[in-house]
Structure 1
Amino acid sequence: MTQSSAPKNLQNSLITYARSTKKMLKNMMEDHQKSLDFLSNQVSELTNKVLLLNAEVLKKHTDPFLHRPFQTHGFDCTDIKDYFGTNSKAPSGIYIIQPEGTHFQFEAFCDMDYRGGGWTVLQKRIDGVIDFQRTWLDYMDGFGELSGEFWLGLRKTFCILNQKNTSFMLNIALEAEDGSSAYATYDNFWIEDEKTAFIMHVGRYFGTAGDAIRGYRKEDNQNALPFSTYDMDNDNCYPACSFNGTKITSCSQEKSRSGWWFSQCGLANLNGVHRVTRGVDISGIQWDTWKENNTTIKIKSASMKIKRTHYPFK
């Protein structure tokens, strides 16, 4: 090697070393930033959970006696309303009911103010305090707080709907983020037993929110289909179906692990993540036939209520 080439080789080596060091530092900084982003997301998620838990605890401690059940028994909330008769009005609240033909009692929330009263509330979403990303067992037995957000439970709902000589209407009440409201009502609502995974049946639709249960296309139709959760997949996506142009195998997994009567996956899902509270723009509470200017409404609160349309006990 000549004396003149030595400095040049040394210079090249230094340049190569500098470049590799720069690349290494850049990779380290990118990895560090990814770690910071991950930790930041974890902290945000934990903060949201703490805020929701604090709200729930505060709600319980500030009003400990308001939501005790009325010691009035009936087959369901319509029966209790009829028992009070025209002489006095039953207030809305938690009652003890025992559907005809069953051997156990349970508490239920009776809405005595909405459209003439006598409604047994099956589901209620308000503020996102209660997590609806639940297992099959949770959806069968029920969860949440009857004084706030809850799912009554498929077993209890089956007992109410399958009393002798009765038929029920289902009312879906919806409120948008801007405060506007809409509803969907179905007559002849009932569900089959646990062996069939609680297949749902609805009759005629009327209302202002659109018939999201049947949807627009054959594959949207959720009527006469079983209930699904992320750990009990009974939807129509076997072995796979197309959703928003993507192949999926589970509607519950696609819909944030919520439980519902899915069909490839359908236009209705009232048990999705509470988008307003959680601050995320994902599937959310769905009733996709409720539109304004061809844009689907973002839903803040929802409820499912049933009421008798035939009264054999009068």
Structure 2
Amino acid sequence: MVLMLFTSIFVIEPGMVSTSTAINWVKLQAEGQFVEDICPAEDIRFVKDTVAATVTCGKICNEDKECKAVTYQVDDHKCTGCREFLKPFPSVNSAGLLKFAKREHLFDCKEILERDRFAKTGVYTIALGGTETSQVYCDMQNGIGGWTVFQHRFDGSVNFQRNFSAYENGFGDINGEFWLGLKFVQILTEMPSEFRYEITFDSGTPWIEEFKRFKLIGARYVLSIAEEAHLRSGNNGESFAIFNESPFVALGEDSTTSCLSGDQMWWWYANQKCDYVLNLNILYGTKTEVWRAAEPDNYRLLKSSKMMIRRK
């Protein structure tokens, strides 16, 4: 679990002076038992005794290209550098051991905005979980900004009729229409996260909902979302909350779901019912259902959609 993020070397105590702005550091913590073997012997880059402070330990690692993480023993001032970014790690145990990892990119769009309040909406490179970099589209304007967008559609230029692997790993053009990838959304929502979606129909009417909880669970990316929206604007139909506890499925993918219509795509189908209700991945130009009722006026032509998450 990522606890804190830093733009300078170990800014963890009041009054501590920054020594570098070139490297970002992430402080790590693991749930459960303390891991005694912090860095396997073959991955130890250096061990230095009597290092005065965490900031000095970080500086030593920062100047060593092979060093990717450090531990600092508060009691005996021992600094250990490791060649690998390893996890899980505790941040502090009873003996006062601190664990940090070096990275060159910020964690998400919210952190980017926190570091630069004038950051503009657009494409940025982030470090997913501290280990893997990815380009993401950040919405820095709506709902006070800092949103990492994971689905964006507005002209039908990208085909959303894909297999599960594509939906898991992502597809499309980050500067245009795209689906970020379920595995990346799952990583980003390991920390408590909010969710916002914006859609417009052919009538031009915008719908917006925001939820205080959003998370994807397990290999089937089961959706966990707050039962009620804390913000709801323009929406006079079903709420996204109907998809709570639904797995991500499609097109007869299992025996409990038989979505045989080729224009429905992968989605969190509520109660395992394959319908069009607020399905934002349907074939572009197809009408989505806004109410669970078999009435002609319950269907609207989806013009654009944007789904995004933000760390709380």
Q: TM-score range by the shorter chain?
A: 0.5 to 0.7
Q: Identify unmatched segments of 5+ residues in structure 1.
A: 1-71, 215-220, 239-248, 276-281, 310-314
| Amino acid across the alignment from 1:213 | F
Amino acid at match of 1:92: T
Amino acid at match of 2:274: C
Check 1:232–1:295 CA distance in 2 against 1; reply closer, same or farther (3 A cut). Answer: closer
TM-score by length of 2: 0.59
Identity of matched residues, %: 28
Assess, with a 3 A threshold, how the Cα gap between structure 1 residues 191 and 172 changes in structure 2: closer, same or farther. Answer: same
CA contact (8 A) 1:136 1:231 kept: no
Q: Structure 1 186/230 Cα, relative in aligned 2: closer, same or farther at 3 Å? A: same
Aligned to 1:98: 127
Alpha-carbon distance in structure 1 between the residues aligned to 2:163 and 2:282: 13
CA contact (8 A) 1:95 1:109 kept: yes
Deviations 1:107-157 (A, max 9, x none): 000011112110100101100010001100000000000111100000111
Give, in angstroms, the shift of residue 171 of structure 1: 0.8
Q: 1:271 corresponds to which residue?
A: 281
Q: Distance in 2 between matches of 1:303 and 1:230?
A: 23
Counterpart CA distance in 1 for 2:288 and 2:120 is 29
**3-state SS of paired residue (1:268):** coil
The 1:81/1:222 distance shift into structure 2, 3 A limit, reads same
Secondary structure of the corresponding residue to residue 94 of structure 1: strand
Larger Rg: 1
Which one has the bigger helix percentage?
Answer: 1
- Report 1 or 2 for greater relative contact order, CA contacts < 8 Å, sequence distance ≥ 6: 1
Could you say which residue in structure 2 is the equivalent of 1:159?
187
Aligned positions, number:
201
**Partner in structure 2 of residue 81 of structure 1:** 113
TM-score scaled by length of structure 1 = 0.59
Q: Which amino acid in structure 1 is aligned with residue 135 of structure 2?
A: E
CA displacement at 1:296 relative to structure 2? 3.6
C-alpha displacement at 1:294, in angstroms? 5.9
Contact 1:73–1:95 (Cα < 8 Å) also in 2: no
Q: Of the candidates 190, 197, 203, which is equivalent to residue 178 of structure 1?
A: 203
2:238 & 2:248 partners in 1: Cα distance? 18
CA pair 213-180 structure 1, distance change in 2 beyond 3 A: closer
SS in 2 for 1:140: helix
**2:207 is paired with a residue of what secondary structure?**
strand
In structure 2, C-alpha distance between the alignment counterparts of 1:98 and 1:265, rounded to whole Å: 35
Q: CA deviation at 1:98?
A: 1.1
Structure (1 or 2) with the greater strand fraction: 2
Rate the CA distance shift 1:255–1:285 in 2: closer, same or farther, 3 A.
Answer: farther
| Alpha-carbon RMSD | 2.5
Distance 1:285 1:207 in 2: 19
Which of 88, 96, 112 in structure 1 is aligned with 2:140? 112
Which consecutive unaligned segments of at least 5 residues does structure 2 have? 1-103
1:132 aligns with 2:141: no
| Shift in Å, 1:169 | 1.2
Question: Superposition pairs for residues 183-262 of structure 1, below 5 Å?
Answer: 183-194=208-219, 197-203=220-226, 204-205=228-229, 206-208=231-233, 209=235, 210-214=237-241, 221-230=242-251, 232-233=253-254, 238=256, 250-251=258-259, 253-254=260-261, 256-262=263-269
Cα distance in 1, alignment partners of residues 180 and 290 from structure 2 = 20
